């Protein structure tokens, strides 16, 4: 028996005398914690004779499709991995996900059921299917066991096909629709993956025109794995996922005190940038935190605050986060004035506005005039959270923060 919440997230599985609870990455069996996820794998829980729970970090190597290939743990904490005792499990797969047999069957410790695509293998009752969320997948057949919930959007394909029958290039993260697995994905404004440009530059593209996005999605469904973006309305995160993660980190930092007792949580700005070297390696740089809002209402952060300004051929993307809290300040005449962080970039987007070449737009124009092609991002946090991708002449596209966080390559 399975129990799901209203959004379709699995909460519990009951089979005979075993009840498995799924609590946002923490997995329990019969009310005993078994493991919980961590960014590089999972933490395996054990109960020694003392009765206190102990956890061991298990690290996992995943291939480009997200399949878990190797799990290992430094059990004796000597800084090296002994293959015979500390490699916990090895998995190798045929293209459609069936596990190789005969040479990678050794398991040291508890068998971890999350393998192909990082999904849980349902071994009970001899099913041997993977739970992808929306559907169950049989790797022996290379087919879904349930009808495609989006079948009407992919009418040229069987509603039971997996990854357009091309599992080397496409993956299916949740059982809803195949997506590209290579390095330069193309998204629409709602962060729906609609294609790939066929390159491996580590970039993320966002198509800002809805009609163009739908046309690209149809091309992808037709098998085009190298979409030509020439002439398309598109913005690019040159730093890829590193830029997305950097923005998320800055948003989080803006909502916290810069130091213990500073009292500037939500009342100062944060920012950062990504730089890309000649080999394509991307590095994230966090700027020094901005000053706390004062009676003038200013809480701005300077461009590249406290760090060196990169060269035009190094700077990938740059961003800053406006303040989230409203501040009421008593003025000299005794009145109260309210200061709220702007939800959009500051300054005048009109480059011909005399004496107004300041603020966020002015800074962007200044960089553009110096030959920079980096993408500028501003996040407004005072009334919800909105991501604005802009240049010196205005906002190019607005995205909801939750959608922005889904962007990855």
Please report, for the chain, the start and end positions of each structural domain, with discontinuous segments joined by +: 2-143, 182-237, 242-404
Tell me the C-alpha distance between 307 and 85, whole Å. Answer: 46
Note whether 186 and 216 are within 8 A (CB): yes
User: How much is the pLDDT for 277?
Assistant: 93
Tell me the C-alpha distance between 393 and 391, whole Å. Answer: 5
User: How much is the pLDDT for 297?
Assistant: 55
User: How much is the pLDDT for 47?
Assistant: 73
Closest C-alpha among 194, 195, 282, 302 to residue 237:
282
The contacts of residue 361 (CB under 8 Å, 6+ apart) are 345, 346, 347, 348, 349, 390, 392, 393, 394
CB atoms within 10 A of CB 223: 13
Tell me the H-state helices in 311-395.
Answer: 359-369
* Intervals of the chain under pLDDT 50: 354-355
DSSP state of 12: E
Closest C-alpha among 253, 194, 256 to residue 229:
194
User: How much is the pLDDT for 59?
Assistant: 94
Tell me the C-alpha distance between 237 and 322, whole Å. Answer: 20
The HSE-up count of residue 359 (CA atoms within 13 Å, CB side) is 22
φ/ψ of residue 243, rounded to 5: -65, -45
Q: If you count them, how many residues does the chain have?
A: 409
Tokens 């501040």 appear where?
327
Q: Are strands 204-207 and 234-237 parallel, antiparallel or unpaired?
A: antiparallel
Q: Are strands 193-196 and 179-180 parallel, antiparallel or unpaired?
A: unpaired
The contacts of residue 29 (CB under 8 Å, 6+ apart) are 18, 19, 20, 21
Handedness of CA 167, 172, 177, 182 (dihedral sign): negative
User: How much is the pLDDT for 124?
Assistant: 86
User: How much is the pLDDT for 296?
Assistant: 58
Six-digit token string for 273 = 């940038």
């Amino acid at each position: 028996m399975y129990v799901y919440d209203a959004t379709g997230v699995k909460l519990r599985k009951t089979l005979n005398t075993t009840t498995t609870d799924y609590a946002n990455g923490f997995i329990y069996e019969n009310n005993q914690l078994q493991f919980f996820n961590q960014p590089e794998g999972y933490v395996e829980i054990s109960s020694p004779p003392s009765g206190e729970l102990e956890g061991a970090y298990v690290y996992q190597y995943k291939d480009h499709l997200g399949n878990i290939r190797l799990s290992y743990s430094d059990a004796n904490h000597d800084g090296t991995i002994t293959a015979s005792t500390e490699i916990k499990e090895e998995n190798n797969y045929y293209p459609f996900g069936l596990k190789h047999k005969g040479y990678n069957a050794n398991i040291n410790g508890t068998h971890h059921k999350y393998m192909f695509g990082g999904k849980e293998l349902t071994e009970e009752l001899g099913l041997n299917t993977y739970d992808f969320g929306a559907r169950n997948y049989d790797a022996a057949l290379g087919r879904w066991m349930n009808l495609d919930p989006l079948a009407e959007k992919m009418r040229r394909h069987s509603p039971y096909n997996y990854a357009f029958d091309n599992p080397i290039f496409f993956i299916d993260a949740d059982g809803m629709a195949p997506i590209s697995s290579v390095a330069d994905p193309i998204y629409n404004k709602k962060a729906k993956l609609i294609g790939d440009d066929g390159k491996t530059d580590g970039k993320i593209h966002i198509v800002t025109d809805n009609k163009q996005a739908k046309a690209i999605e149809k091309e992808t469904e037709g098998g085009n794995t190298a979409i030509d973006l020439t002439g398309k309305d598109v913005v690019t995160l040159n730093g890829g996922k590193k830029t997305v993660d950097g923005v998320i980190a800055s948003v989080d930092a803006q909502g916290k005190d810069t130091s213990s007792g500073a009292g500037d949580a939500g009342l100062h700005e944060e920012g950062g940038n990504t730089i890309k070297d000649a080999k394509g390696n991307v590095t994230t740089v966090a700027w020094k935190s901005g000053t706390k809002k004062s009676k003038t209402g200013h809480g701005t952060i300077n461009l590249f605050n406290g760090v060196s300004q990169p060269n035009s051929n190094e700077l990938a993307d740059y961003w800053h986060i406006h303040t989230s809290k409203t501040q009421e300040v008593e003025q000299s005449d005794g009145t109260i004035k309210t200061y709220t962080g702007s939800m959009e970039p500051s300054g005048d987007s009109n480059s011909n506005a005399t004496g107004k070449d300041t603020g966020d737009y002015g800074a962007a124009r200044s960089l553009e005039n110096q030959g920079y092609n980096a993408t500028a991002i501003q996040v407004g946090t005072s009334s919800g959270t909105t991501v604005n991708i802009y240049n010196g002449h205005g906002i190019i596209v607005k995205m909801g923060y939750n959608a922005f966080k889904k962007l990855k390559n």
